[in-house]
Structures are given as C-alpha cells and as structure tokens.
Amino acid sequence: MITDQRMTEYLHSLESSQGPLCDRIEEEALKCRVPIIRRETAALLKVLICALRPKQILEIGTAVGYSALLMCQVMPENCRITTIEKYEKRIPLARENFRLAGAEDKITLLEGDADELLDGLSGSQFDFIFMDAAKGQYLGWLPKILKLMPAGGMLMSDNVLQDGDVVQSRFAIERRDRTIHSRMREYLYQLKHCPQLETAVLTVGDGVALSTRLGRKG
C-alpha cells in the first residue's frame, strides 16, 4: 500500500532470508503468480505471532503454505495451525512444502470451502486467525469467525485496501470488481463498528486489519 516504490524497495532490502525453503517458495510463487503475502505483511505477521504466542492458529487461505510456514518458524512449541484451502491444484504443493519443512505434525490442512469448514470448527478456540482468501467472502465469514475467537484473540485480515481501490467510488472501479469493492468496504465498516472487536486498519502491504476480541480472558 506504500505508493513510493523507493521506500518499498528500501524496506524489502532490510529483510533477511526466511530460510532456503521459504525463499524458494516465495520465488516460485511470484514467478507463477500464486498469491502470497507481501514481505512487509510477512514481517508484521511474524512479529504478531512472536508477541502474542498463540496456542491455536486458524488460517483461511493456505495457497502453497508460505504464510503457514512463516508462522511455524516463530510460534511457540506447543502451538498448532489449522489451515483451509479450496483450490485443488495448490493443495498438493502446500502438503509437500509442509513435508519438506518437517511441519506436518504442526499444521493440519483442511480441504474445501471455508464457508462449510468453519461451521465444522464450532467449539474450537483460535487465539490467532489469519484471513487471506477470497476477499469477497470476508464479510460472510465474520460471524462464524467471531464464534471461534476467545476474548483477547486476534483476527488479522489481509488485502483489505485492495491496492487502494477501496477508497474509490464504485463507479471508478471496473464493473467486474464492484461486488468485491462494496463487500470489502462493508467488511471494514463492520470490523470498526462491531461491539465485540477493537480494530485498527493499517496501510501495510495491501492493507491489513487487526481486530482483537474484547472481553475477559478465561
């Protein structure tokens, strides 16, 4: 979301290696146009995991497993990740990357539509949820996600500013993108006005919303 290319390149130059496997996954994903989180978003994600030390992480949108493996690098030893992916062609790649990382015992990959799978997770408590899937579905998933978050839990929603398009009039957006545009604007409104959440929207990467579930822990 930082529009100054020189600043973006400078921030990227400060980043160190994510390890041979994750560096290779990032390189191949960018080459094949597989959507993965941007470097500045990845840095924020890892810092949050380090600071919050969650016990159960839910990720919606596995892709090829890049962000799940980044979280694996810094999460507590007893933490486990449940990640959801619908796109069949990416699932074998993600599973292989988890195997290569030796992280199969720490990551559970659920195959299918998040809308259905989230219902099956009712009763679970995820103290960190990372949402990075179909942007037009965020709004519909929010009520289900709230049921999975304990007090003090955090929801991190990626790509919420849509390369800046979210601030544009719907008539300035290409017709095919107008539904996602309106749903994302409504999603951000709901996050900021939900009495159960305290939310900050950051211009990191393509826009990140951080939402904490209010209430007493335990």
Residue 1 has pLDDT above 80, yes or no: no
Question: What does the pLDDT look like over 119-147, one tens digit per residue?
Answer: 999 777 999 999 998 888 999 999 999 99
> What percentage of the chain has pLDDT greater than the value 90?
67
- Asked if the model's pLDDT at residue 201 lies above 90, the reply is yes
In this structure, which CATH number among 2.40.128.20, 3.40.50.150, 3.10.20.600, 3.40.190.10 belongs to the domain 5-213?
3.40.50.150
Q: Is 96 left (phi over 0), alpha (psi -120 to 50) or beta?
A: alpha
* pLDDT score at 202: 92
Which residue stretches of the chain are H helix? 5-14, 20-31, 39-52, 66-74, 91-100, 114-120, 138-146, 178-193
Average of pLDDT values for 109-128?
91
Bigger pLDDT: 9 vs 66: 66
pLDDT tens sequence across 52-72:
999 999 999 999 999 999 999
Question: Residue 106 — very low, low, confident or very high, per pLDDT cuts 50/70/90?
Answer: very high
pLDDT band at 170 (very low <50, low <70, confident <90, very high): low
